[in-house]
């Protein structure tokens, strides 16, 4: 069976990061995505990093590419013709850019009233910072997310751009586009989806704001239960210099962890922060007695909630990832398989080189 979004036509106006990630998700699920790319292409990160030859970007998998120069009338006209018959448009430029090109929502809706027009920005289409440059770290900083990440007494830790660009940005845009697509089945009309990374990260912080309203997770970063401050929810070095992750929050799992480490329960209340330094010291001593993989073999199949900290080269070969088919090799690159899974309409990665030439099936 084809993917659940088969029959959907998506036009992505070339960019980097969250917008291509969003359209990759749609393509994985069967949408026919055409990426409008500048004739000279776009570098993956910056001019300091040379482009790959031939260019391989996982975020562009399953898409057709149309090379158009939107600065000239002919390129704009061709793009407009594609948008006239599209279900979804995705653009990731500063507010006003598409309007100046004559490819904004008003022009598109005049010819295609059913179009869902997705706008991916950092700060959103309105507000005093709408025209200001920014990157993932800036959006995290403004939402409270960056301040919450890091070790106690140290500056905030800069995380990977998964939280902002891809979680609060591309994934939130995909959610919004599909919501608007559902509404179109009722109204028959398209609309604009304004997906700002700063808004999306704020939504991802909902749980933390809820905990803070009850006085929980309100202590300085790195001293709370979920941010590494808790000794039974953290990372420990092993004898070989590698690490294990421990997530034994609930009482039954904590007991299994103590059994794994051959430690008695010496503490009256494990959630008493006064006990945490002593618990952490004892755990650290025990984990240094064996290698990472030895501990993981001992913990395998138990509820001690101990897992190896794998790097990106190791992760695809983990037995669980292999059993799930969580990674695959496409165009010579090992990469994550599409998610989520569907029982009747499996996700598909199309082999494309200007036209669709074949498919890789991922149930």
Q: Which residues are catalytic?
A: 135, 165
Question: How many Å from the N-terminal Cα to the C-terminal Cα in the chain?
Answer: 10
Under a CB-based contact definition with an 8 Å cutoff, are residues 37 and 67 in contact? Answer: yes
Instruction: Please tell me the distance from the alpha carbon of residue 130 to that of residue 122, in angstroms, as a whole number.
Output: 8
* 88-91 vs 9-13, strand pairing mode: parallel
- CA nearest 138: which of 114, 161, 167? 161
* 18-28 and 172-187 helices, crossing angle to 10°: 60
Sheet with 306-308: strands ordered across:
233-237, 243-247, 306-308
Instruction: Please tell me the distance from the alpha carbon of residue 11 to that of residue 4, in angstroms, as a whole number.
Output: 18
Instruction: Please tell me the distance from the alpha carbon of residue 162 to that of residue 341, in angstroms, as a whole number.
Output: 21
- CA nearest 58: which of 329, 356, 322, 345? 329
- CA nearest 185: which of 33, 34, 2, 8? 8
Strands (E) across the chain are located at: 9-13, 32-37, 63-67, 88-91, 116-121, 191-196, 233-237, 243-247, 306-308, 327-330, 333-336, 347-352, 356-362
Strands (E) across 159-303 are located at: 191-196, 233-237, 243-247
User: Which residues have CB under 8 Å from 3's CB, separation 6+?
Assistant: 28, 29, 30, 31, 342, 345, 346, 347, 348
At 348 the three-state DSSP class reads: strand
Radius of gyration of the chain (CA): 24
Q: Is 150 left (phi over 0), alpha (psi -120 to 50) or beta?
A: left
């Amino acid at each position: 069976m084809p993917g659940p979004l088969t029959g959907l036509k998506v036009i992505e106006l070339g960019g980097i990061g969250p917008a291509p990630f969003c359209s990759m998700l749609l393509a994985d699920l069967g949408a026919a995505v055409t990426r409008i790319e500048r004739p000279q292409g776009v570098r993956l990160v910056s001019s300091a990093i040379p482009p790959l030859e031939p260019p391989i970007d996982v975020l562009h998998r399953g898409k057709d590419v149309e090379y158009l120069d939107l600065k000239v009338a002919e390129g704009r006209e061709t793009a407009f013709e594609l948008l006239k018959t599209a279900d979804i448009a995705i653009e990731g430029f500063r507010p006003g850019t598409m309007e100046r090109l004559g490819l904004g929502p008003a022009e598109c809706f005049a010819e295609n009233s059913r179009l869902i027009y997705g706008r991916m920005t950092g700060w959103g289409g309105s507000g005093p910072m709408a025209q200001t440059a920014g990157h993932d770290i800036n959006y995290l900083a403004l939402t409270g997310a960056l301040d919450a990440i890091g070790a106690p007494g140290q500056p905030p830790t800069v995380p990977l751009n998964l939280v902002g660009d891809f979680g609060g940005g591309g994934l939130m845009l995909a959610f919004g586009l599909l919501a608007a697509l559902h509404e179109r089945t009722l109204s028959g009309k398209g609309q604009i989806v304004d997906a700002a990374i700063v808004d999306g990260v704020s939504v991802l912080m909902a749980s933390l704001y809820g905990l803070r309203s009850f006085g929980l997770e309100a202590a300085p970063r790195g001293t709370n239960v979920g941010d590494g401050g808790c000794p039974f929810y953290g990372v420990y070095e092993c004898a070989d210099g590698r690490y294990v992750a421990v997530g034994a929050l609930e009482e039954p799992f904590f007991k299994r962890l103590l059994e794994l480490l051959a430690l008695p329960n010496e503490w009256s209340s494990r959630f008493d922060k006064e006990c945490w330094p002593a618990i952490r010291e004892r755990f650290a001593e025990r984990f240094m007695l064996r290698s990472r993989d030895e501990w993981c073999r001992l913990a395998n199949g138990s509820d001690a909630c101990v897992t190896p900290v794998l790097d990106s080269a190791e992760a695809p070969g983990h037995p669980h990832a292999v059993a799930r088919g969580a990674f695959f090799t496409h165009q010579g690159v090992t990469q994550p398989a599409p998610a989520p899974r569907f029982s009747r309409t499996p996700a598909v990665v199309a082999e494309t080189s200007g036209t669709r030439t074949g498919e890789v099936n991922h149930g």
